[in-house]
Structure 1
């Protein structure tokens, strides 16, 4: 199902504001998941944390993201994008405030798990809302901007953490955690007043509300009959149940989205959570100075996303993701040389990996939103997120153990192997969705072309 007024609308101030508001969630995600890596230094010294404690605290948020994505994606498809869009930010504010007062390992684990659940919820909420509002020709780029915001948030975490540690020492780790509450409150205020997705409203048969939503956001009055026709098509679709994600073509798409996402972020999350420790293993900076190295890597990740944002809408999704994964394997394999490598080679490889990862990175949220229909779009995004976090949580938990027992070289080679799996999955299963409506990209192969756009034109002429 598609609504021509949305699919073919010019990019407006509303679209830009919505993009920034939706990007606020990923920005906070990157910030909250990265600031803990900086804060852990002071936490460990003051609370006498063991390596196992650090691993649990580092991985707890990722487990929470698994649960949050799996559960709240489906809730979002039932209750709507708008309501969940602000609730999850309120949880981030509360969880960040409570983290300041925690004193025991189990308290930090519980709160990081709670924050992870809110983060996992935000991924399908914000991305499905944006995907259902933006015009076709801009969809890949604007969804990719959300990922770029993640890296900006991660870089900000390392810079702010570095500054706090320089000014007040490692004992400022509670202030580092408190900074997340302030940023979450600002984004929450920005999100208030965002209109509900017309596609979700039509999917629920609420055509009058969809008409008002489009009028409010785009200033266009759509004939109610046009929306009634769209609602009839949407509600006649058979594939709108949770179990449909695990049947036939949708099963393949679910596995593709989840596995390539997992292979992308498993090495990347490990690098971010324990970035200072990894750089220290290579001899690149000690103590607080290694946080600036992590911030630099984050900036390079941002730079890698910039050309990918243009390419996904110009040359297509499939070639971008296939070639990017292939190139990402190379620097990780070189880093398998371990601590004996010259620092210049280490820096070059980290930067190369960051640059090449831009392709699959900007498609992490584009593919799940394009390959599934409105009734299960957020659910699919949540499931893909949950699958990805299985590997991310395991990798984050095991990385410090691997560094200690296997060494940095072997650890990097394991990362190269995981990335290679991502290339294989993308080569076999990646579909091309560039320039098509959500109705067309989510349709099953061989299905009749959605007729809503043609009916829209006929109704507008009448």
Structure 2
């Protein structure tokens, strides 16, 4: 028997038929969103722990700039490979299998970090965590997009960034307070990511396959049974609703004439957004110290609070603004903010905090769009591959940026490093002006060009 919420939100038996794109939000949507949000919390938390764990680990296991860079970028390297491999597998084997497998990998590797005895061992484990994360990023965005009604799709997909940011900030706060509590505190901090990962893994058991994927593979009866079970008998998902049989296209499909511009756009804007994000926030304590904003200023707590506020603001802006305007304007604001940090003298501490806060607020807000644009831009038969490729390119770029950042600060100084990151954001703005599509009010088929 349906519960009260489903009875209130789902269409009644006598109502007219509606498609999956226009079905009212119900409890099943909330469940799928919760499972993907829990994953993003875990991923933000796991990536957020490394910055403060490194400082603690360095006192027990001395690290040079090379190992600092490798440990900071190792999970990102894993995400690069995981998103490619699991994105490809998801379009062939289905969303549900990868939805579960990715978190088996993350959970096991997260707990195993407690037993790392060398930097190389910890790098290997964090690459494995990233490998699982890459799979989850690719399939999580795809499966939620394929279940979500268009009215709420932008909000649900954009909320990934909010939950990720909350996990990241909680990890930072715990790191600030407990990273130096004992010689082995870094082990407990890193391994604690296994707790939310295990909870997500257990709750994902029994998740159904995406009906859009099933229908694309010619398994229409299975697809319609899932739709009837979770959305009611009045909801349709069939060929006359715009779906059609389409075998998985693989990565080659992304470079066909009808998709190549969208493929390049999603990879390029994603890369230009995450390079400064991960480079700066992986080494936030070191950067604040380099620009004389660490000791006694409370800047680290302020900026972590602004990260959360920005992520929440991003949901509202995703609803109110067009996708293009939000993306282009945000690139411009973050670029100017980093330019200000590069040219302001260290004595202008209040202005530097203001510039850093504006950068943080805007970066956190428009990071919501990395969960929105890729799944909206690609058709079902290539959606996980498209999302996976965009994520892979972004994580490769951010891994390189994260690896080079401590070397850049040591070699040319923080000011020149900020100028280089501002240039990356400027390139992202130009790419968005040239190629960003507007997908806000379209069905998933229309948005992806089907």
TM-score by length of 2: 0.91
Among 301, 317, 322, which residue is 2:307 paired with?
301
Alignment pair present for 1:56 and 2:66: no
Kept in 2: contact 1:270–1:395 (CA 8 A): yes
Inter-CA distance 341–334: structure 2 relative to 1 (3 Å threshold): farther
Q: Distance in 1 between matches of 2:175 and 2:415?
A: 28
Q: Which residue of 1 aligns with 2:417?
A: 411
Matched, 1:211 2:233: no
Does residue 6 (structure 1) correspond to residue 20 (structure 2)? The answer is yes
Q: Which residue of 2 aligns with 1:460?
A: none
Change (3 A) 1:99 1:234: same
Matches within 5 A, 1:227-242: 227=238, 229=240, 233-235=243-245, 237=246, 240-242=249-251
Q: Are the aligned partners of 1:281 and 1:408 in contact in 2 as well (CA < 8 Å)?
A: yes
Q: Is the 8 A contact 1:256 1:429 kept in 2?
A: yes
Q: Is 1:26 paired with 2:40?
A: yes
User: Which residue number corresponds to residue 178 of structure 1?
Assistant: 191
1:244 and 1:113, CA in 2 relative to 1: closer, same or farther beyond 3 A?
same
Query: For the residues of structure 1 that align with 2:281 and 2:82, how far apart are their CA atoms?
Result: 21
Structure 1 residue 220, shift from structure 2 partner: 3.1
CA contact (8 A) 1:272 1:294 kept: no
RMSD: 2.1
Per-residue deviation at 1:313?
A: 3.2
Q: Determine the C-alpha separation between the residues in 2 that align with 1:239 and 1:248.
A: 17
1:195 aligns with 2:205: no
Equivalent in the alignment of 1:281: 290
Partner secondary structure for residue 148 of structure 2: coil
CA offsets, 1:182-214, max 9 Å, x none?
A: 121122223222222110111111112112211
Alignment length (residue pairs): 434
Q: Deviations over 1:361-403 (max 9, x none)?
A: 1111211111110000010000000111222011100000111
**C-alpha contact 1:312 1:320 (8 A) present in aligned 2:** yes
The answer to whether residue 30 in structure 2 is matched with residue 16 in structure 1 is: yes
Q: 2:299 and 2:109 mapped to 1: Cα distance?
A: 28
Partner of 1:354: 360
- Structure 2 unaligned residues grouped into runs of 5+: 1-16
Please state whether the residue corresponding to 1:248 is helix, strand or coil.
coil
Which residue of the other structure, out of 377, 381, 384, is the alignment partner of 1:375? 381
State the partner residue of 1:259. 268
Q: Is the contact between residue 317 and residue 432 of structure 1 (CA under 8 Å) also seen in structure 2?
A: yes
Residues 165 and 311 of structure 2 are in contact (CA less than 8 Å); yes or no, is this contact kept in structure 1? no
Aligned partner of residue 246 in structure 1, secondary structure: coil
Distance 2:45 2:155 in 1: 22
Cα displacement string for residues 208-249 of structure 1 (whole angstroms, at most 9, x for unaligned residues): 2112211232233557xx636569x522x5883420212324
2:19 touches 2:241 (CA, 8 Å); kept in 1? Answer: no
Residue 220, structure 1, aligned to residue 226, structure 2: no
Instruction: Determine the C-alpha separation between the residues in 1 that align with 2:249 and 2:108.
Output: 34
TM alignment of 1:50-449, pairs within 5 A:
50-165=64-179, 168-169=181-182, 171-220=184-233, 222=235, 227=238, 229=240, 233-235=243-245, 237=246, 240-286=249-295, 293-337=299-343, 340-358=346-364, 360-443=366-449
**C-alpha distance in 2 between matches for 1:176 and 1:311:** 34
3-state SS of paired residue (2:244): helix
Q: Does the 8 A contact of 2:53 with 2:179 survive in 1?
A: no
Secondary structure of the 1:201 match is: helix
Q: Please state how far the C-alpha of 1:150 moved relative to its aligned partner.
A: 1.1
Deviation at 1:170, TM superposition (A): 5.2
Q: What is the alpha-carbon distance in structure 2 between the residues aligned to residue 176 and residue 7 of structure 1?
A: 42
